[in-house]
Chains A and B, each alone.
Chain A
């Protein structure tokens, strides 16, 4: 009776490098010819050069690598489990296997119930069809019966706030409406297991809040199991009961969200910042964060001069430089800098939105944020960067890249030996003065002193 709803047992997935799997006829002929002449190993070595892979992920042959390796864990019915890990750690592969989009190479998983995955919202939306038709089509693709969709139709339309446009082809929708409708369909499904991946990276703040609300409703009211992959640590902490951390295809940790988040943040950063205070991607050897449209070249933190550093006095201003490359013309993009504590609590988020031109033309850019001195507390912070077109789409998914530590004098906390609470500790002016007292009070005080 109390079997876990999801059992994952030594799940592994092997991927081929390079043009994954698609062999053109030429490739096949080439490898056949190479095999004929006994030069196969040379060919494999040449193809493997396409990408660099951490040695622990190397597969049995040089042109393969483990996207997932021996992952095992159980999830109980009604549990909401957060999945954390850096980009490319294998989170999406895990969800894809569990939702039967792709099959594992080794191991097995048992899922006791209907699964619906939202790997990307709006899957199967057809631009020519109206909102109404798409709701039915999308619902059916996600495994709902027609009667089920019909019953929930009004609720879905209301949730998506697209009422008057429901009979308009979705190609005329704004991207915000599109996403809202897509999420609404998905949110009203009644699966036993729901898998959510980065869905909340889109939509405006109010809608995101609504989605989070819907998710906790799904958990509380219907007792559904939810797999939740997100970079929103706050959401993971407040929604999830447990969390797993996946790194390099392996399960590193399965614990409370709080512990997993701290571990993730400290490990994510220490790994990347080989030289303290800066990180630059060598596009030759590894894909930088971003997309075809825009990608990060590097991040550097300094105290104003060119030298990167990671230790700051509390009263020093901190200069965060973000270097990036724009590949296509972009309108309305903005960078967001999140400064988080090691526990994943957000101290503040800042954006360059109002300080830059509306249109970015292709080229290399640098955006600089000056965090004033005397603002932060005496502790270690983590810097997260993301880029998006507000309300439309995410361009560079949020990633945590660098950490820095505030110490020494300069803010009020530095006068005390104990750790001062708070994500920030701004230098706030106090004014203490001795007040001139009126005669009556003066006399009362003197009498009291005489007694």
Chain B
């Protein structure tokens, strides 16, 4: 036979509650082609049948940054650590919009796939994972846009001339991995909880909005009221946001304790999210 690459001792044991405590990397690797196809489909289906196509990936954060600049910068006059508001928000939105996009599309994509889950087996983690990866493309486009604006500000706006990336920038990939892990963890938590309680579907967006205000996206960490600094300890996105600004623009204050707690909380959310998801996933076919 040409194919039949099934090894002699290949054996699947089907038992109740088997193996949801560990992550099955092997089967994820076996289904890598499916993962890639999901990523592609996720990315393509987002702008298919829109006029501007992939340009939306750039336009979306730009428009959001503009709205922020008007309302929070001009009207509410929230200080921005001496960074021009436009640049400040654009930078703040880098990590945040990646995070929130993964979480919102992740939950929606999961809903769209429940029909599939009840008909055919494949590693269920591929679905949220594909969102995490496909959103990376959007992030890359956004990062390029950011650098374009950064150059423009540096050359044309005098108060921005002192801004420059610090050596921390080499940690950016690690930071991105952390954000990805965190957003995957939160997505898994939300989808698993939504499967159990449909009502949460409507709450998810609200939670994300609250979360944004609890994160220094539209304000610098230095402006966080002392009474609320506990937020910086439990919200891993705080350190991530501030680290992005610190490494790309050279402004910001980052307490090392925040960084450590941020990483610890991220790992906790990620791992518990995977476990919860795998627990729910086993019986998803009975529910959907």
* Nearest chain A residue, comparing its CB with the CB of B33: A146
Q: State in angstroms the CA–CA spacing of A22 and B45 once bound together.
A: 29
Instruction: Check: A172 CB closer than 8 A to any chain B CB.
Output: no
List of B residues within 8 angstroms of A222 by Cβ: 1
Contact partner, A100, options B14, B41, B199, Cβ 8 Å: B14
Residues B198 and A136 in contact, CB atoms below 8 Å apart: no
Instruction: Check: A354 CB closer than 8 A to any chain B CB.
Output: no
Given A103-B16, A106-B16, verify A112-B10 contact (CB < 8 Å): yes
Instruction: Check: A99 CB closer than 8 A to any chain B CB.
Output: yes
Residues B283 and A100 in contact, CB atoms below 8 Å apart: no
Min C-beta distance of B195 to chain A, whole Å: 8
Contact partner, B196, options A23, A100, A119, Cβ 8 Å: A23
Min C-beta distance of B133 to chain A, whole Å: 15
List of B residues within 8 angstroms of A120 by Cβ: 119
Instruction: Check: A367 CB closer than 8 A to any chain B CB.
Output: no
Residues A97 and B14 in contact, CB atoms below 8 Å apart: yes
Q: State in angstroms the CA–CA spacing of A22 and B117 once bound together.
A: 15
With a 10 A CB-CB cut-off, give which of A22, A103, A123 has the most chain B CB atoms: A103
Min C-beta distance of B33 to chain A, whole Å: 4
Min C-beta distance of B194 to chain A, whole Å: 10
Q: State in angstroms the CA–CA spacing of A270 and B219 once bound together.
A: 76
Q: State in angstroms the CA–CA spacing of A137 and B200 once bound together.
A: 31
List of A residues within 8 angstroms of B41 by Cβ: 126, 129, 137
List of A residues within 8 angstroms of B1 by Cβ: 190, 222
Residues B119 and A28 in contact, CB atoms below 8 Å apart: no
Instruction: Check: A34 CB closer than 8 A to any chain B CB.
Output: no
List of A residues within 8 angstroms of B30 by Cβ: 143
Instruction: Check: A108 CB closer than 8 A to any chain B CB.
Output: yes
List of B residues within 8 angstroms of A15 by Cβ: 286
Q: Which positions 10-43 of chain B face chain A at CB distance < 8 Å?
A: 10-18, 30-31, 33-34, 37, 41
Instruction: Check: B230 CB closer than 8 A to any chain A CB.
Output: no
Given A103-B18, A190-B3, verify A111-B120 contact (CB < 8 Å): no
List of A residues within 8 angstroms of B3 by Cβ: 148, 190
Given A20-B286, A22-B198, A104-B16, verify A114-B31 contact (CB < 8 Å): no
Q: State in angstroms the CA–CA spacing of A108 and B16 once bound together.
A: 7
Q: State in angstroms the CA–CA spacing of A104 and B18 once bound together.
A: 10
List of B residues within 8 angstroms of A422 by Cβ: none
* Nearest chain B residue, comparing its CB with the CB of A114: B6
Residues A102 and B6 in contact, CB atoms below 8 Å apart: no
Q: Which positions 115-162 of chain A face chain B at CB distance < 8 Å?
A: 115, 117, 119-120, 123-124, 126, 128-129, 136-137, 140-146, 148
Residues A24 and B199 in contact, CB atoms below 8 Å apart: yes
Q: Which positions 76-115 of chain A face chain B at CB distance < 8 Å?
A: 96-106, 108-115
Instruction: Check: A417 CB closer than 8 A to any chain B CB.
Output: no
Q: Which positions 153-200 of chain B face chain A at CB distance < 8 Å?
A: 195-200
Residues B283 and A102 in contact, CB atoms below 8 Å apart: yes
Given A137-B37, A140-B37, verify A101-B287 contact (CB < 8 Å): no
Q: Which positions 27-65 of chain B face chain A at CB distance < 8 Å?
A: 30-31, 33-34, 37, 41, 45, 48-49
Min C-beta distance of A46 to chain B, whole Å: 21
Residues A25 and B197 in contact, CB atoms below 8 Å apart: yes
List of B residues within 8 angstroms of A145 by Cβ: 33
List of B residues within 8 angstroms of A164 by Cβ: none
Min C-beta distance of A377 to chain B, whole Å: 42
Pairs across A and B, CB under 8 Å, 29 listed? A20-B286, A21-B283, A21-B287, A23-B197, A24-B199, A25-B199, A99-B120, A100-B14, A101-B120, A101-B121, A102-B286, A103-B15, A103-B16, A104-B15, A104-B16, A106-B16, A110-B12, A112-B12, A113-B10, A114-B10, A117-B119, A117-B120, A123-B116, A124-B116, A140-B33, A140-B37, A141-B34, A143-B31, A190-B1
Query: Closest 9 CB pairs between A and B?
Result: A140-B34, A21-B287, A100-B121, A102-B285, A109-B14, A25-B199, A123-B119, A146-B33, A108-B15
